[in-house]
Amino acid sequence: MEVLVFLVPLAILLGAIGLAAFLWSLKSGQYDDLDGAAWRAIADDEPTESSNG
Amino acid sequence: MQSSLDFSHYLKSAGAGLLHLDLAVEGISCAGCMAKIERNLSKIPDVTLARVNLTDRRLAVEWKEGAIDPSFFVDRLKELGYKAYPFERLDAETQEAGRAGALLRRLGVAAFAAMNVMMLSIPVWSGNVSDMLPEQRDFFHWLSALIVLPAAAYSAQPFFSSAFTALRARSVNMDVPISIGIILALGMSLVETASHADHAYFDAAIMLIAFLLAGRYLDQNMRRRTRAFAGNLAALKSETATKFVNDEEVSTVPIAAIAPGDIVLLRPGERSAVDGNVISGRSEIDQSLITGETLPVVAMPGTAVYAGTLVRSGTLRVRVAAASEGTLLAEISRLLDNALQARSRYLRLAERAARMYAPVVHATALLTMIGWLIAGASFHDSIVTAIAVLIITCPCALGLAIPAVQTVASGALFGSGVPLNSADAIERLAEIDRVIFDKTGTLTLPELDVANAAAIPADMLALAGRLALSSRHPVAAAVARAAKAVSPLRSIEEESGQGVHGMVDGCEVRLGRPSYCRADAEANAILSRDPEASVVAFRHGEACHVFAVRQRLRPDAAAVVDKLRRCGIGVEIVSGDREPAVRMAAQSVGIYEWRAEVTPVDKIARINELARDGFRVLMVGDGLNDAPALAAAHASMSPVTATHMSQAAADAVFLGERLAPVATAILVSRKARALMRQNLWLAVIYNALAVPVAIAGLVTPLIAAAAMSGSSVLVMLNALRARIRIREIG
């Protein structure tokens, strides 16, 4: 059972990383256009590819 | 005109020599449009970003400063088939978006905490049955406290602050029992953990918060969407003014870029966007939008003009006294907003229920505790049972059921072109049993139409249309539209109050008053048949034609009136227009009850009279003179081409040429109300079954939380049924 001392903080750390990732995605505006994002995922080509300048 | 628009007001610096521009784009409807626009604009050299937001129908572009003129993007989009307008976020919209973002952040934190606490709780439950050491259980409880307390303190703030505000105002809302339940459960759990007890209820509390936040977020998201839509509309109207940049030259600028002291030019047919004083020129002006006075007055140097004033005959130079937010029009608009916020005669259904519900919940929990104490249970057991009662009766179903149905129903209405201004509009629209239509711009289309276009030779119509492009008179604009004219004739002169004339291939052409074109006989022939029409004459050498221009009824007006009547809804027209025009419109759409030449005050009187007789009135109207009537009615709708003002006052607006959205809105709202009632009954039945069990002390707070979540899910699923039913209505 001593393994708990090690596993429980690890589990919480993983959860915290997940939360941090969610907060980051929220801050970077990934929830601003849910309709558009749904379609971008299945778009044939990368329309914004050429704009990486 | 679009190309001369001055964009500098809308440009933002995006850092490192880049400029940023937001455009509201009309006509984006699918992923194909999104890909097409992004691919085309990205190909332009020096463009660093072109991103479409499909939800809000907007486009953000960034480019290297000085490389491209912003109007180039508008032109390019026009070539692709989209109309684009520069656009500035309204304050209200930024606030709504911020609130939705904050709720989502809190929901994320609560959900994270709930998941991790569940991971700790499950071993404790199973451990209680098997062989968990008391030290291990305490360790898990303390860990749960460590996760949940900060998470709850952060994510439950919306409930705490709303409950606190309500209590300070000596009233009760739904957040009061929620807050008390959360705080009691958390406090009790801490005490239990400190005294090495078997149970703690951190998991129940945080799950409750997560579920409630999900409901709030859905509600907020709907409001954010409507605000974004309203922001686009304001941009699409692209309110501009013609400003003198020096004594001779003019430039078209957005009204936001006009400052007091500037001099603007007002041409016939234009509406003033500013308050100011005339410094030169002479014209008849129509101030009906502001004063309600329909007879035109003559403006000369020194006369004050207000935003919303229509210039009829001549050209005026006006020195600006106040622009944009400072105008009288904006002031009236703010007053109206305040009046609407103060309108509390109709409390939201859920809030009314909560107001009755909260005292009952608290009394039941308190009585349960006292009852168990009297029956000889320990103080600790009594309090645990009381918390279970509090959680199980927590009005989650109430909190979730109504917003969920509202979200689904308003989403469906949005899809059929009826954006709602307020969420409780659905409840009020559902109760409507009487509809009052305004005539002009509501039953009729807002733009004038040439009634006898088919009787005029095509080449003459085309030539008249090109000539009409040089005039800004609304009747001439109708001729230009009917002819689908795009290229104006060269060197055309306008004679104030008469018409326009010029030379084509050595032959004189004139368009204007019948007397100006020597066409009185033809004009009188048309007027004797159709006294309500406006006439405009066209002379090309010896050939002469007279156009009858009039308002056209919305194509489906008669069908919609018939549909409403079959649903048991009474229909009438109350209009400020003259009697013959109103009678004719009433006859052609099949409305038997109508009133003409009604002042704005009498419109309100008529609405109040119907209300006294027990009718719930829906007012459908546009224009500033209807704004008070819209606010006075039980529910209200406006076509979106109406003035900004009445849109702010109406519960819902509708798009396009058809009148059908009025009937759709009422029918969808009725269905939605039926589902809301069903959901409330589900919640009541659930409570009737669960509460006695909880009072008997057979439910731990954790089971109570699970049962409560279960009822919430049931209610959500029922709300989703609204989608299917609403589709059937179409």
Residue in chain A nearest B34 by alpha carbon? A36
**Claim to verify: residue B2 and residue B120 sit in the same structural domain:** no
Q: What is the mean pLDDT of residues B98-127?
A: 85
Distance from CA of B97 to the nearest CA of A (A): 9
Of the candidates B462, B488, B490, B465, the one whose C-alpha atom is nearest the C-alpha of residue B478 is B465
**Claim to verify: residue B569 and residue B658 sit in the same structural domain:** yes
**pLDDT on residue B520:** 83
**Claim to verify: residue B548 and residue B476 sit in the same structural domain:** yes
Of the candidates B484, B24, B17, the one whose C-alpha atom is nearest the C-alpha of residue B236 is B24
Distance from CA of B666 to the nearest CA of A (A): 27
Mean pLDDT, all residues of chain B: 78
Alpha carbon of residue B521 to chain centroid: 49
Taking 80 as the threshold, does the pLDDT of residue B95 lie above it? no
**Claim to verify: residue B102 and residue B191 sit in the same structural domain:** yes
B213 vs B222: CA distance, rounded Å: 14
> Binning pLDDT at 50, 70 and 90, where does residue B344 land?
very low
First to last CA, chain A: 55
> Binning pLDDT at 50, 70 and 90, where does residue B153 land?
very high
Q: Is B619 a domain residue?
A: yes
Give percent of chain B with pLDDT exceeding 70. Answer: 81
Q: With helix as H, strand as E and coil as C, how does B215-270 read?
A: HHHHHHHHHHHHHHHHHHHHHHHCCEEEEECCCCCEEEEEHHHCCCCCEEEECCCC
Q: Does B108 contact A23 at a Cβ distance shorter than 8 Å?
A: yes
pLDDT, tens only, B18-30 = 888 888 887 776 7
Q: What is the DSSP letter of B624?
A: G
Taking 50 as the threshold, does the pLDDT of residue B347 lie above it? no
State the burial class of residue B337 (Cβ atoms within 10 Å of its Cβ: 0-12, 13-18, 19+): middle
Beta-sheet strand order (sheet of B493-495): B444-450, B543-553, B534-540, B507-512, B499-504, B493-495
In chain A, residues with a C-beta closer than 8 Å to the C-beta of B16 are none
**Claim to verify: residue B480 and residue B624 sit in the same structural domain:** no
Give percent of chain B with pLDDT exceeding 90. Answer: 6
B111 vs A15: CA distance, rounded Å: 10
Q: Does B136 contact A4 at a Cβ distance shorter than 8 Å?
A: yes
**pLDDT on residue B136:** 81
> Binning pLDDT at 50, 70 and 90, where does residue B154 land?
very high
> Among B132-141, B481-490, B636-645, B650-659, whose mean pLDDT is lowest?
B636-645
Distance from CA of B133 to the nearest CA of A (A): 10
Q: Is B174 a domain residue?
A: yes
**pLDDT on residue B422:** 66
Q: Does B50 contact A48 at a Cβ distance shorter than 8 Å?
A: yes
Distance from CA of A22 to the nearest CA of B (A): 7
Among residues B87, B120, B152, the one where a domain terminates is B87
> Binning pLDDT at 50, 70 and 90, where does residue B613 land?
very high
Q: Which residue among B31, B51, B105 sits closest to A48, beta carbon to beta carbon? A: B51
Taking 60 as the threshold, does the pLDDT of residue B395 lie above it? no
**Claim to verify: residue B217 and residue B105 sit in the same structural domain:** yes
Does residue B172 come out as left (phi exceeding 0), alpha (psi in the -120 to 50 range) or beta? Answer: beta
B549 vs B535: CA distance, rounded Å: 6
Q: Which residue among A23, A35, A47 sits closest to B38, beta carbon to beta carbon? A: A47
CATH code of B582's domain = 3.40.50.1000
* Tokens read off for B365: 């929990």
> Binning pLDDT at 50, 70 and 90, where does residue B59 land?
confident
Q: What is the mean pLDDT of residues B151-160?
A: 92
In chain B, residues with a C-beta closer than 8 Å to the C-beta of A26 are 101, 104-105, 108
Q: Which residue among A23, A26, A51 sits closest to B47, beta carbon to beta carbon? A: A51
Residue in chain B nearest A24 by alpha carbon? B105
Runs of H (alpha helix) within B554-659 = 557-566, 579-589, 600-612, 627-632, 644-649
Contact B174, B356 (CB under 8 A): no
Strand partners, B13: B19
**pLDDT on residue B339:** 41
Contact B511, B468 (CB under 8 A): yes
Strand partners, B499: B495, B512
pLDDT, tens only, B110-120 = 999 988 888 88
In chain A, residues with a C-beta closer than 8 Å to the C-beta of B30 are 39
Q: Does A15 contact B116 at a Cβ distance shorter than 8 Å?
A: yes
> Binning pLDDT at 50, 70 and 90, where does residue B725 land?
low
The ipTM, to two decimals, is: 0.77
Residue in chain A nearest B64 by alpha carbon? A53
Q: Does A11 contact B119 at a Cβ distance shorter than 8 Å?
A: yes
**Claim to verify: residue B457 and residue B545 sit in the same structural domain:** yes
List, by residue number, the catalytic residues of B.
Answer: 438
Residues of B near A (CB-CB distance < 8 A)? 30-31, 34-35, 38-39, 42-43, 47-56, 101, 104-105, 108-109, 112, 115-116, 119-120, 133, 136, 139, 143, 147
Taking 60 as the threshold, does the pLDDT of residue B648 lie above it? no
Q: Does A50 contact B116 at a Cβ distance shorter than 8 Å?
A: no
If you count residue pairs, one on A and one on B, with CB atoms under 8 Å apart, how many are there? 73
Higher pLDDT, B705 or B596: B596
Runs of H (alpha helix) within B130-201 = 134-155, 157-168, 175-194
Q: Does B55 contact A51 at a Cβ distance shorter than 8 Å?
A: no
Q: What is the mean pLDDT of residues B178-195?
A: 85
Q: Is B728 a domain residue?
A: no
> Binning pLDDT at 50, 70 and 90, where does residue B324 land?
low
> Among B459-468, B560-569, B624-633, B657-666, whose mean pLDDT is lowest?
B624-633
pLDDT, tens only, B278-308 = 888 888 887 665 554 555 678 888 888 877 7
Q: Which residue among B42, B139, B147 sits closest to A48, beta carbon to beta carbon? A: B42
Higher pLDDT, B699 or B394: B699
In chain A, residues with a C-beta closer than 8 Å to the C-beta of B56 are 32-33
First to last CA, chain B: 39
| Chain B interface mutation, best of A23, A28, A33, highest count of B Cβ atoms under 10 Å | A33
**Claim to verify: residue B495 and residue B568 sit in the same structural domain:** no
Please tell me whether residue B529 adopts helix, strand or coil conformation.
Answer: helix
Taking 80 as the threshold, does the pLDDT of residue A45 lie above it? no
CATH code of B30's domain = 3.30.70.100
Q: Does A39 contact B34 at a Cβ distance shorter than 8 Å?
A: yes
Q: Is B677 a domain residue?
A: no
| Chain B interface mutation, best of A22, A51, A52, highest count of B Cβ atoms under 10 Å | A51
**pLDDT on residue B326:** 58
**Claim to verify: residue B204 and residue B111 sit in the same structural domain:** yes
Q: What is the mean pLDDT of residues B502-516?
A: 84
Higher pLDDT, B624 or B450: B450
In chain A, residues with a C-beta closer than 8 Å to the C-beta of B133 are 1
> Binning pLDDT at 50, 70 and 90, where does residue A17 land?
very high
Give percent of chain A with pLDDT exceeding 90. Answer: 8
Residues in chain B: 730
Q: What is the DSSP letter of B17?
A: T
Taking 90 as the threshold, does the pLDDT of residue B192 lie above it? no
Q: Is B680 a domain residue?
A: no
| Chain A interface mutation, best of B39, B41, B119, B202, highest count of A Cβ atoms under 10 Å | B39
pLDDT, tens only, B437-469 = 988 778 888 777 888 877 888 888 888 888 887
Q: Is B687 a domain residue?
A: no
Q: Is B335 a domain residue?
A: no
B531 vs B546: CA distance, rounded Å: 14
Among residues B268, B295, B326, the one where a domain terminates is B326
**pLDDT on residue B516:** 84
Taking 90 as the threshold, does the pLDDT of residue B109 lie above it? yes
- Which residues, at least 6 apart from B412, have a Cβ–Cβ distance to it below 8 Å? B668, B722, B723, B726, B727
Q: What is the mean pLDDT of residues B71-88?
A: 81
Contact B411, B722 (CB under 8 A): no
CATH code of B279's domain = 2.70.150.10
**Claim to verify: residue B382 and residue B516 sit in the same structural domain:** no
Rounded to a whole number of angstroms, the CA Rg of chain A reads: 18
**Claim to verify: residue B186 and residue B322 sit in the same structural domain:** no
Q: What is the mean pLDDT of residues B201-213?
A: 81
Contact B392, B694 (CB under 8 A): yes
Alpha carbon of residue B28 to chain centroid: 19
> Binning pLDDT at 50, 70 and 90, where does residue B572 land?
very high
Q: How far, in Å, are B352, B428, B472 from residue B347 at the CA level? A: 6, 11, 47
Taking 70 as the threshold, does the pLDDT of residue B375 lie above it? yes
The H or E element spanning position B544 is strand B543-553
pLDDT, tens only, B529-570 = 777 777 888 888 888 888 888 878 888 889 999 999 998 899
Identify the domain containing residue B376 by its residue range: 95-228+345-394+706-711
Place of tokens 């002042």: B599
Higher pLDDT, B7 or B642: B7
Domain total of chain B: 5
Of the candidates B699, B549, B574, B676, the one whose C-alpha atom is nearest the C-alpha of residue B632 is B574
Q: Does A19 contact B115 at a Cβ distance shorter than 8 Å?
A: no
* Tokens read off for B79: 């070539």
Place of tokens 């105002």: B169
What type of residue is B29? S
Q: Is B465 a domain residue?
A: yes
**pLDDT on residue B229:** 61
Q: What is the DSSP letter of B442?
A: I
Q: Does A47 contact B147 at a Cβ distance shorter than 8 Å?
A: no
**Claim to verify: residue B566 and residue B667 sit in the same structural domain:** yes
Mean pLDDT, all residues of chain A: 76
Strands B434-437 and B534-540: unpaired
Q: What is the mean pLDDT of residues B224-251?
A: 66
In chain A, residues with a C-beta closer than 8 Å to the C-beta of B143 are 8, 12
Residue in chain B nearest A52 by alpha carbon? B48
Q: What is the mean pLDDT of residues B130-145?
A: 82
CATH code of B469's domain = 3.40.1110.10
For the ranges B47-56, B403-412, B445-454, B707-716, the maximum mean pLDDT occurs at B47-56
Contact B351, B173 (CB under 8 A): yes
Residue in chain B nearest A41 by alpha carbon? B31
In chain A, residues with a C-beta closer than 8 Å to the C-beta of B54 are 33, 35-36, 39
For the ranges B137-151, B319-333, B432-446, B673-687, the maximum mean pLDDT occurs at B137-151
The pTM for the full model equals 0.62
Q: Nearest 10 degrees: CA dihedral of B181, B182, B184, B185?
A: 110
* Tokens read off for B47: 């463009």
> Among B122-131, B221-230, B587-596, B652-661, whose mean pLDDT is lowest?
B221-230
* Tokens read off for B162: 């709303």
Taking 80 as the threshold, does the pLDDT of residue B365 lie above it? yes
Q: What is the mean pLDDT of residues B677-692?
A: 81
Among residues B531, B553, B575, the one where a domain terminates is B553
Q: What is the mean pLDDT of residues B510-528?
A: 83
**pLDDT on residue B535:** 82
Strands B635-639 and B617-620: parallel
B642 vs B727: CA distance, rounded Å: 28
Residue in chain B nearest A44 by alpha carbon? B35
Higher pLDDT, B700 or B456: B456
**pLDDT on residue B148:** 93
Taking 80 as the threshold, does the pLDDT of residue B341 lie above it? no
Q: What is the DSSP letter of B489?
A: P
**pLDDT on residue B327:** 59
Q: What is the DSSP letter of B457?
A: -
In chain A, residues with a C-beta closer than 8 Å to the C-beta of B108 are 19, 22-23, 26
B333 vs A14: CA distance, rounded Å: 52
Does residue B343 come out as left (phi exceeding 0), alpha (psi in the -120 to 50 range) or beta? Answer: beta
DSSP B342-385: H--SS--HHHHHHHHHHHHHHHHHHHHHHHHHHTT--HHHHHHH
Distance from CA of B694 to the nearest CA of A (A): 33
Q: What is the DSSP letter of B483?
A: T
Distance from CA of A36 to the nearest CA of B (A): 5
